[in-house]
Each structure stands twice: as structure tokens, then as C-alpha cells.
């Protein structure tokens, strides 16, 4: 008995499941038959109210009940994809030979004919519609259904079928397809249909009312935005204007978004200005995108002016607004303007966040105001903001730029103590601070800590440690780090070799500097201007003016343009070796080519004084004053002036027989082989 009681519920349950399955199969078969014979359309098709008058473009197979909707959708998908066991339905095929394609195309046309013949017409279809109109109507219904089930390959097949059959698709129908495709987010297909619409003509002949044509443009502009195709979006705007269609607010906003997405910040600012000229009022989002464009273009004045305009336009700036404007001031090195915006922000009751403080600290660091940056860093903690990773790295950078290696070390240690794991940028910033402070031993220890912290040193890390070792005369340690690079599969670059060459040069080993320069070329590392300047510095320290002169020529031969520093090094070694005429030839050519700086003039001033050319020395001194340059106080002309000149001459010091050469017609005739 107890076994019957246990089995009875199980048997009843299985019976209910069997009944449900039978009913489900019956319903599916019934709905499939309705779909195949076009009967469901008369009772379930819902006409879309956004389509053209006289065209019943249904939402494909949408019954009124949810269960029916799911079932009908499934049957529609089966019908359109050809997944039912019906050989008459078209199927997607692999592309074969041209003959095979022709045969398959004919077969597909026959299949489409069969499908279209089964489609029933809706009640809204006019009774007096011509046979061609009915065929077009059926094709339109089928395309709409295919769009609804997102069978884009089948949509393409259907459109090609209509082309082959000579079925002329009206422009308004293309526009309706674009509306349906936009609703399904089928952006690529939107553009394909749009290209069909405009094939061979600049403007659709019959899109209906002007507002509908503009809407189509806006939908296409949105598709360009989604696909990130900013050049096409700009071209579309130009086409709208040239054909008399006035862009809408949505047009401009979409264009601004797509240009920002494509990092075309100049185009963003242009669209923003065009939008205002057209009489549209930007909202907060548009203002902020325009500010972002100004920031990336380093147009801090425009950014500040835009923030001023926002309250006048009835738009209240938010924290992103102020942060972006402050960042623009940072890139423009406008520290006081950044702090003015900071005060304005607080006055407007917009609470600064971590990004705000980080941007302010960054601008302070860029201007060498590291103390002000540290004060802001402490202030953000006082107001309850927790510094993030970027905040710490920004303070590190400010300390590095300010030459405060001790402060940088303290910030780095605090960063670790609060649970933040320094990355390669943080380590490299501290290493650079140690380099500036000549802390070679600390740099070596930090490089070792990077390995234990599972942070892989890069070429900058090794090169910086080599540089600080070279600065302090620890060439053995520099060599060890150089070899360590190779062990860690980090290959030296031009910056690495420049540090090695410079270190050898400081130690008076110009021959070794030359060997390193040749070694880098053998290893396939192309020397840069920095590397050439490092070797020039080594040669200048060794008094090798001929080699220095030849090296400057070699830079030109290698396609590199020497800098003012390059020529100053050459000028200096020529002066030290009493090659005054050559040195002044270099000076005259510098004025005609790369330019000069304060160092250049002080070298020339020393040459004139060393050769007792006092009138020329005074003339150079006056030029320096006009240019705002400071004269080296160790020089007679710069330190005392004409009275000292008279006293020097009174001592009976012989005046040099060397005379100042006239200017050359061509720069560096010796270096050019003249």
C-alpha cells in the first residue's frame, strides 16, 4: 500500500508533463501553419506609427500575449533562417565559383518567391493596391520581419533579390528600414541601407517631410558615433548643410561625441562653436566635452572662458567641469589661474575631489612649487579625502622636479605604508629623484627592491641608475648595472649608452666614451642627438676639438640636426684650445641657424677677453643685457666693466695680434667640407 501511495504522485506528475508537452507541440505546429500561410498577420500584426503613410510596416509577428510572442518569434526565426525542414526556403551558402553562385542565386530567387507568396496582407493594406505595390508591400513586410529577428545576412539577401527582380524601393521605405535598424542597434546595416539610399545621388528624392529627412541623418550620425567613424560623421554634417537640411541639437551633440571618441579634439571645439552659432544652447555634457577638447589641445584660455560662460547660459559647472579646466591650466603652466578656479569651485559649493587636488599638485610640480604641492597633499587628507595612486605619483613627480629627493623618499614610503603597491612609474620617479640628488647607493638599493617587489625594471630604471653612478664617479657600479640589464633581458637604448658615455667622459676617459659610441652602433642602436651630445661633452673635457668638430659634421651626415647644446660644446672646446677664429665662425653660424643662448654669449665674451678684444667684449656684453642674459661674474667685462678694462690695459698686458674675423657667407664652411 505504501508503495502505491509513493508512486501515485510521481505518476500524476509525469502525466501532467506529458499533457503539457503534447499541448506545446500542438501550439507550435498550429502557429507554424499560421505563419506559413500568412494567417497570423491579419490578427496579430501591429502597424508601426513612425512609418510612412500608406505603408504598413509591421513589427514582425508580435502577438498580444507574452507566451504567444515568444512562440511566434521562434517560428518567425525558423521561417526566415530556413531552419525548418523545408527545402524551398533560402539558405546562406558558402561562396563557390561564379557558375555555382549563379545557380545558387537562381535557386534562392525561387525560394524567396515561395516565401513571399505565403505572406498575407494586413487589414491596413489599401484594397486598390496594384500587383507591383502588393509585391513591394510583401517584400517590405519580410524585410521588417528579418530586421526584427536580427537576421542581417538575410536582409542583405532580400535587398539583392529585390534589385534583381526590378522592385524599386522608394526612398521613404529605405528611411523606414533605417528607423527599424536603429531600434535594433544594427549600426553597420544602418550605414549599408543609407548608402543604398544615396547611391548615385546626393539627396534622397522623396524622404517625405523635412523633419523626417533630418531624423534619418541624425540616426545615421548616431551609427557613425557607435562605430567610431568620425570622418564620415563630419562629411555627413557637411552634406546636410550643403543640401539645405539644418542640423538639430541631437546632430551636433552626436557629432561632438563621435569626434571626442576619435580623439579629434580640434573638431570637437569646432563643432561646439558651430553649435552655439546655430543658436543651440549646450547642456552640461556638451560643455564638459568641449572643456575636455580644450584641455587636450592645451587651450587653457578657452577652457577658463568656457567655465565663465556656463552660469550665464544657465548651466551650473560640476566637479568634472572644474577638474578639466584646472587640468587645462596645468598643461598651460598657469598655476595662479588654476588656484583661482579652485577658489571659485569652493565658492560655488562644488566639493573638490581627489582628482582636483591631484591636478593642482601637478601644476605646482610643473612650475617648481613643490612646497605648495605638499601643502595641498596634506590639505586633501585634512578635508577627509584619501589620496589615491595618482595623487601619490603626482606628489612624487613634484618632489623630483623640485630636486627634493628626501621628500620624494618620504612620500614613497608613505605610499607603501597605506597599502598602495608602487608601480614602475613610481619607482622610476624616485630613481630619477635620487639621480638628481646624486644618491647612487640609494638608487642601487631601490633597484634591488624592485626585484623583490615583483616590479620588473625597464630600460629607464637601469639607465637612471647608470647615470647616477656615472655622475658620482662610480664607473664600476655603472658597468655592473649595464651587465645586469642583459641578464634581465632588458636591452640598452640610446639613453643607456648616453649615460655610460657621459660617465666615462666625466672621469676623463674620452677614449672609452668613443669605444662605447662605436659599440652601440655595432649592436644596432641608432645614436640620437642626446648620445652625440654626451660624446661631444667627453671630447670637450679631453680637449679634442678636432674630433668634436668632426662629430658635429657626423651628426649632419646622419640626418640629425645639432642643437644649441651641441654647438655650445664645440664652441667651448674651441675656446679652451685657443682656436678663437674657428670659435667665432661657429658663433656667427649659430646666430644664422640654430640660435644662441646665455651660455653661448658667455663663452664668446670669455674669448674676447682672453684675446684682449675689449671693444668686441663690451659689444657682446651690451647684446647680452638687451637679451636679458646674465653675464658670468668671473669675467672682467661682466663683473666690473670699463674701469677694470682700463686698469687691465694699464698693467701693460700685451694686446693680441689676432683680429676679429668677418662673418662667413655660409654656415660652418669647415664642417661642410668648404
Residue 553 domain-assigned (yes or no): yes
Structural domain span for residue 57: 1-169
State the pLDDT at residue 647.
52
Residue 36 domain-assigned (yes or no): yes
Residue 559 domain-assigned (yes or no): yes
Residue 531 domain-assigned (yes or no): no
CATH number, domain of 548, equals 1.25.40
Domain stops at, among 119, 153, 169? 169
State the pLDDT at residue 207.
55
Domain stops at, among 169, 204, 230? 169
Domain stops at, among 169, 199, 218? 169
State the pLDDT at residue 135.
77
Q: Which residues contact 467 (CB under 8 A, 6 or more apart)?
A: 435, 499, 502, 503
Nearest to 161, CA basis, from 126, 210, 224, 116: 116
Phi and psi dihedrals of 509, rounded to 5? -100, 65
In 128-184, the DSSP E strands lie at none
- 578 in Cβ contact with 545 (< 8 Å): no
For 525-539, give one letter per residue: b (16+ CB within 10 A) or e.
bebbbbbbbbbbbbb
Dmax (CA) of the chain: 141
Residue 46 domain-assigned (yes or no): yes
- 667 in Cβ contact with 587 (< 8 Å): no
Cα first-last separation, the chain: 122
Residue 668 domain-assigned (yes or no): no
Whole-angstrom distance, CA of residue 615 vs CA of residue 634: 18
Residue 437 domain-assigned (yes or no): no
Residue 264 has a CB neighbour count (10 Å cut-off) of 19
Residue written as grid cell 587640468: 327
- The residue ranges of the chain whose pLDDT is under 50 are 1-3, 23, 26-104, 200, 202, 204-205, 638-643, 646, 648-674
State the pLDDT at residue 117.
63
Using a cut of 0.85, tell me whether the model's pTM lies above it: no
Which helix (H) or strand (E) covers residue 340, if one does? helix 335-347
Angle at Cα 274 formed by Cα 272 and Cα 276, nearest 5°? 75
Structural domain count, the chain = 2
Residue 657 domain-assigned (yes or no): no
State the pLDDT at residue 2.
46
Nearest to 180, CA basis, from 202, 206, 151, 137: 151
Phi and psi dihedrals of 58, rounded to 5? -80, 155
Amino acid at each position: 500500500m505504501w508503495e502505491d501511495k509513493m508512486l501515485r504522485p510521481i505518476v500524476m506528475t509525469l502525466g501532467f508533463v506529458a499533457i503539457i508537452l503534447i499541448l506545446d507541440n500542438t501550439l507550435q505546429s498550429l502557429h507554424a501553419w499560421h505563419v506559413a500561410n500568412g494567417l497570423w498577420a491579419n490578427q496579430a500584426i501591429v502597424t508601426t506609427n513612425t512609418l510612412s503613410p500608406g505603408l504598413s510596416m509591421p513589427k514582425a509577428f508580435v502577438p498580444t500575449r507574452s507566451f504567444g510572442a515568444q512562440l511566434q518569434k521562434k517560428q518567425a526565426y525558423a521561417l526566415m533562417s530556413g531552419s525548418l525542414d523545408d527545402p524551398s526556403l533560402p539558405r546562406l551558402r558558402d561562396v563557390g565559383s561564379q557558375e555555382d553562385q549563379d545557380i545558387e542565386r537562381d535557386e534562392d530567387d525561387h525560394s524567396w518567391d515561395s516565401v513571399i507568396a505565403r505572406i498575407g496582407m494586413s487589414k491596413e493594406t489599401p484594397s486598390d493596391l496594384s500587383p507591383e505595390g502588393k509585391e513591394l508591400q510583401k517584400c517590405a513586410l519580410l524585410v521588417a520581419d528579418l530586421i526584427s529577428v536580427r537576421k542581417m545576412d538575410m536582409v542583405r539577401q532580400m535587398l539583392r533579390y529585390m534589385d534583381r527582380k526590378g522592385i524599386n524601393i522608394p526612398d521613404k521605405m529605405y528611411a523606414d528600414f533605417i528607423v527599424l535598424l536603429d531600434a535594433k542597434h544594427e549600426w553597420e546595416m544602418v550605414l549599408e541601407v543609407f548608402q543604398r539610399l544615396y547611391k548615385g545621388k546626393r539627396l534622397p528624392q522623396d524622404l517625405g517631410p523635412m523633419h523626417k529627412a533630418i531624423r534619418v541623418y541624425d540616426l545615421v550620425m548616431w551609427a557613425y558615433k557607435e562605430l567610431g567613424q568620425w570622418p564620415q560623421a563630419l562629411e555627413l554634417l557637411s552634406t546636410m548643410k550643403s543640401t539645405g537640411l539644418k542640423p538639430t541639437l541631437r546632430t551636433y551633440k552626436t557629432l561632438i561625441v563621435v569626434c571626442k571618441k576619435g580623439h579629434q579634439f580640434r573638431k570637437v571645439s569646432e563643432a561646439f562653436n558651430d553649435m552655439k552659432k546655430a543658436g543651440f544652447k549646450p547642456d552640461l555634457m556638451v560643455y564638459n566635452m568641449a572643456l575636455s577638447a580644450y584641455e587636450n589641445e592645451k587651450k587653457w584660455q578657452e577652457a577658463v572662458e568656457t567655465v565663465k560662460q556656463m552660469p550665464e547660459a544657465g548651466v551650473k559647472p560640476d566637479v568634472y567641469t572644474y577638474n578639466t579646466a584646472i587640468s587645462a591650466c596645468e598643461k598651460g603652466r598657469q598655476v595662479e589661474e588654476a588656484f583661482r578656479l579652485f577658489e571659485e569651485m569652493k565658492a560655488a559649493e562644488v566639493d573638490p575631489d581627489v582628482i582636483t587636488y591631484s591636478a593642482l599638485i601637478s601644476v605646482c610640480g610643473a612650475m617648481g612649487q613643490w612646497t605648495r604641492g605638499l601643502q595641498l597633499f596634506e590639505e586633501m587628507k585634512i578635508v577627509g579625502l584619501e589620496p589615491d595612486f595618482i595623487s601619490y605619483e603626482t606628489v612624487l613627480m613634484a618632489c623630483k622636479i623640485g630636486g627634493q629627493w628626501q621628500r620624494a623618499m618620504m612620500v614613497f614610503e608613505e605610499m607603501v605604508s597605506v597599502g598602495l603597491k608602487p608601480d614602475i612609474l613610481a619607482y622610476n620617479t624616485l630613481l630619477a629623484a635620487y639621480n638628481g640628488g646624486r644618491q647612487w647607493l640609494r638608487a642601487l638599493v631601490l633597484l634591488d627592491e624592485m626585484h623583490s617587489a615583483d616590479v620588473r625594471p625597464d630600460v629607464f630604471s637601469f639607465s637612471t641608475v647608470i647615470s647616477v653612478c656615472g655622475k658620482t664617479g662610480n664607473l664600476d657600479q655603472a658597468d655592473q648595472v649595464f651587465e645586469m640589464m642583459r641578464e634581465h633581458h632588458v636591452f640598452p637604448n640610446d639613453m643607456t649608452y648616453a649615460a655610460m658615455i657621459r660617465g666615462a667622459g666625466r672621469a676623463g676617459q674620452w677614449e672609452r666614451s668613443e669605444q662605447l659610441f662605436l659599440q652601440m652602433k655595432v649592436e644596432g642602436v641608432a645614436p640620437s642627438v642626446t648620445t652625440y651630445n654626451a660624446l661631444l661633452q667627453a671630447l670637450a673635457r679631453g680637449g679634442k676639438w678636432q674630433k668634436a668638430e668632426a662629430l658635429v659634421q657626423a651628426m649632419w651626415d646622419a640626418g640629425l640636426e645639432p642643437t644649441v647644446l651641441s654647438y655650445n660644446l664645440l664652441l667651448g672646446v674651441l675656446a679652451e684650445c685657443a682656436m678663437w677664429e674657428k670659435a667665432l665662425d661657429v658663433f656667427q653660424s649659430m646666430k644664422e641657424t640654430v640660435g644662441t643662448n646665455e651660455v653661448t654669449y658667455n663663452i664668446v665674451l670669455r674669448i674676447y677677453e682672453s684675446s684682449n678684444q675689449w671693444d668686441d667684449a663690451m659689444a657682446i656684453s651690451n647684446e647680452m643685457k638687451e637679451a636679458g642674459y646674465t653675464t658670468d661674474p668671473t669675467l672682467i667685462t661682466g663683473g666690473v666693466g670699463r674701469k677694470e678694462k682700463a686698469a687691465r690695459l694699464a698693467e701693460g698686458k700685451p694686446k693680441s695680434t689676432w683680429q676679429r674675423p668677418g662673418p662667413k657667407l655660409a654656415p660652418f664652411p669647415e664642417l661642410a667640407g668648404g
